[in-house]
Amino acid sequence: MPHRLSYRIGSAFLMAVAMLQSATGAVEPPPARRPNVLFIAADDLNDWLHCLQGHPQVQTPHLDALAARGTLFTNAHCQAPLCNPSRSSLLTGLRPSTTGIYGLAPGIRRVAALKQHVTLPQTFTQAGYTTATFGKIYHDGSLAPEEHATEFNTWGPAPGMGRPPRKFVHTPQDIAPMDWGPFPQDDSDQADWKIASAAVAAIAAAPKDKPFFIACGFRLPHVPCYASRPWFDKYPAEGLVFPLVRDDDRGDTPRFSWYLHWKLPEPRLKFLKEKGEWGPLVRAYLASISFMDSQVGRVLAALTARGQNDETIVIFWSDHGWHLGEKLITGKNSLWERSTHVPLIFAGPGAARGARCPQPVELLDIFPTLLDLCGLPPRTDLEGHSLRPQLEHADAPRGWPALTTHNQGNHAVRTLHERYIRYADGSEEYYDLARDPQEWHNRAGDADSAEARRRLAAWLPQVNHAPVPGSAHRVLTYDPATGAVTWEGQPVAGDAAIPEIDD
């Protein structure tokens, strides 16, 4: 438990109350009362939840309790393994290959085709909901301040992570966010504590005469992985369980797989092992998850105190996963399970209690599902599919796999027990996850996988837009005519050595 249980009601908390009390909907509320929506996001959280059995030591009691009173999707996947394209996809209901947003820039309103596109929060604002957002829901800076009011009635505090006087870890590129360790001393100084406090205030202040849509986006476990010392104490260094890793794991993956994360601030496994930082990073990631879970618990407790659990749809999701040594990397930016697999929980009206759905689903499905559950008009321009059948009966089959895209022409197809990857240059990976859950054996070169690869390739997106103007950061391009590859605008020679340590 955190060493300080009481929390201070600071100015951000009071401002959030005042802003929400003054918020008004764009239209009159519908005649029949629709359910509230509590929309909770984590940043860079993979499947390391106790209820997902993602790590044997992780402690996530509040998210486990949420899953127990709702439906847990055990095979949910993001549309992109990077913050901005993933969040842009979820909030617009469109695939990255449709929007052309692949990098950390631009935001959706900088894209000509999306300037008038009605987003998920806009839909609820226009439907007469009281809408408010706190923390990170849209990627930071992706919307200009003057664009905020048309998305949510209220934009509350979204503090960034604080920094210690000196970094704990000096990684190869040594940028400030690439750090992990016990900080700050007091939990109430954490960004996620302040975000939770604002959401708690919003729930308490929401008008009684109309439904609310309150979004709460937590920072953790995105780097820097900071949590106070008591959260680290939950995961002693002695006896810490490490991810399963094979040192030769990349021996059967195409060279093109390296291009998706060619040079990044996240260190390679080689660096972590050489510097003795693999254990500290795993420990910090676990501590960050448990602290974030505690803040989810505070928000859920506020909903319970309001007495509206039975009137509120609660969704918990993460924008993408995170490697901690698997495939010899850390971070995201890959098309493997560790990057694409995310938690997804629905609880409240329309969701069966204590259910676990193994069907492949996508974050793209959240938008049409909420329209369905809240009785709002369906949209023919959305590319996801309502999860209502699976929320009613967890074993209901799905007619679609889950697709993940990272930069133009690179896609993964995930079914119940298979993963198929096709890169822009035509190279492939195929994994039989029933036999090979760690994705250690790429069977794309096996003749007996040919039929499966053809079957799965039929699901690849037919639209593959080039990066939109203004695309930047983590952007990879490939010219099929010449074979030229560029990473963040710089050419990559075909015989260039694969970076073992980014320096």
Backbone torsion region of residue 226, taken as left when φ is above 0, otherwise alpha when ψ lies between -120 and 50, otherwise beta? beta
Active centre residues (catalytic)? 83, 139
- What number is the average pLDDT over the span 75-89? 98
Q: Is the pLDDT of residue 17 over 50?
A: no
Q: Is the pLDDT of residue 18 over 90?
A: no
Whole-angstrom CA distances from 413 to 69, 356, 431, 458 are: 30, 21, 11, 10
pLDDT attached to residue 3? 35
Q: Is the pLDDT of residue 31 over 60?
A: no
Average pLDDT, the chain: 93
Which of 4-13, 17-26, 97-106 is predicted most confidently? Answer: 97-106
E-only strand ranges, 276-368: 312-318, 323-324, 330-331, 341-342, 344-347, 355-357, 361-362
Q: Is the pLDDT of residue 5 over 80?
A: no
By percentage, how much of the chain surpasses pLDDT 90? Answer: 92
Distance CA 31, CA 33 (A): 6
Report pLDDT digits (tens) over 278-332.
999 999 999 999 999 999 999 999 999 999 999 999 999 999 999 999 999 999 9
Helix (H, G, I), strand (E, B) or coil at 496: coil
pLDDT attached to residue 32? 55
Q: Is the pLDDT of residue 376 over 60?
A: yes
Relative orientation angle of helices 278-306 and 191-205, to the nearest 10 degrees: 10
25 falls in which pLDDT band (50, 70, 90)? very low
Q: Is the pLDDT of residue 11 over 50?
A: no
500 falls in which pLDDT band (50, 70, 90)? confident
pLDDT attached to residue 24? 35
Report pLDDT digits (tens) over 241-252.
999 999 999 999
List 132's β-bridge partners, or say none. 154, 214
Q: Is the pLDDT of residue 7 over 50?
A: no
- What number is the average pLDDT over the span 117-143? 97
Q: Tokens 């003749």, residue?
A: 447
pLDDT attached to residue 440? 98
Report pLDDT digits (tens) over 201-219.
999 999 989 999 999 999 9
Please, which residues have CB within 8 angstroms of residue 96's CB and are 6 or more apart in sequence? 79, 80, 85, 88, 89, 102, 405
- What number is the average pLDDT over the span 402-428? 98
Distance CA 351, CA 333 (A): 32
Sheet of strand 484-487: strand arrangement: 476-479, 484-487, 490-492
Q: Is the pLDDT of residue 21 over 60?
A: no
- What number is the average pLDDT over the span 171-197? 96
Report pLDDT digits (tens) over 418-437.
999 999 999 999 999 999 99
- What number is the average pLDDT over the span 37-51? 98
1 falls in which pLDDT band (50, 70, 90)? very low
Q: Give the end-to-end CA distance of the chain in Å, rounded to a whole number.
A: 38
- What number is the average pLDDT over the span 82-104? 98
14 falls in which pLDDT band (50, 70, 90)? very low
Q: Is the pLDDT of residue 12 over 70?
A: no
- What number is the average pLDDT over the span 358-378? 98
Please, which residues have CB within 8 angstroms of residue 116's CB and are 6 or more apart in sequence? none
CATH fold label, 11-29+37-237+269-399:
Alkaline Phosphatase, subunit A (3.40.720)
Q: Centre a 10 Å sphere on the Cβ of residue 146 and count the other Cβ atoms it contains.
A: 8
